[in-house]
Amino acid sequence: MSEDATVHHIRKTRTGTVLSCKMDKTIVVSVERRKAHKLYGKIIKLSKTYYAHDEKNEALEGDVVCIQETRPISKLKSWRLIEVVRRSADNTVEPVA
């Protein structure tokens, strides 16, 4: 292969809100994006949910987190938690393990 053919894959990152943290080492993250309607031009909010791997169970519901694309961990999980960007005001107490 030539040098031009070797392309390193840059992993995607998304920032969203944790919807659920009830599973062990798994969080459900909702990522919202804004897009203009094709015909009318009105800005619409679109959201998508991702299942992300949370190794230390550190994210709580309502937290804003950053997730990164990774190899498939299970049937639904192909993302992992990178960092908790902002804690929710409701979650001042850590969960009981």
Q: Is the pLDDT of residue 13 over 70?
A: yes
- Whether 20 is covered by a domain: the verdict is yes
Q: Is the pLDDT of residue 93 over 80?
A: no
Q: pLDDT tens digit string along 49-68?
A: 999 999 999 999 999 999 99
How sure is the predictor about 88, in pLDDT bands with cuts at 50, 70 and 90? confident
* C-beta of residue 35 within 8 angstroms of C-beta of residue 48: no
3-state secondary structure of 80: strand
Could you identify the residue written with the tokens 């550190």? Answer: 58
pLDDT at 29: 98
pLDDT at 47: 97
- Whether 35 is covered by a domain: the verdict is yes
Average pLDDT over residues 32-44: 97
Domain of residue 74, CATH code: 2.40.50.140
- Whether 93 is covered by a domain: the verdict is no
DSSP state of 75: S
What CA–CA distance (Å, rounded) separates 91 from 62? 8
Q: Which residues pair with 20 in a beta bridge?
A: 28
3-state secondary structure of 28: strand
Domain of residue 36 covers 13-86
Structure tokens at 46: 């679109």
pTM: 0.81
- Whether 6 is covered by a domain: the verdict is no
What CA–CA distance (Å, rounded) separates 82 from 28? 14
Number of domains in the chain: 1
* Higher pLDDT among residues 57 and 9, named by residue: 57
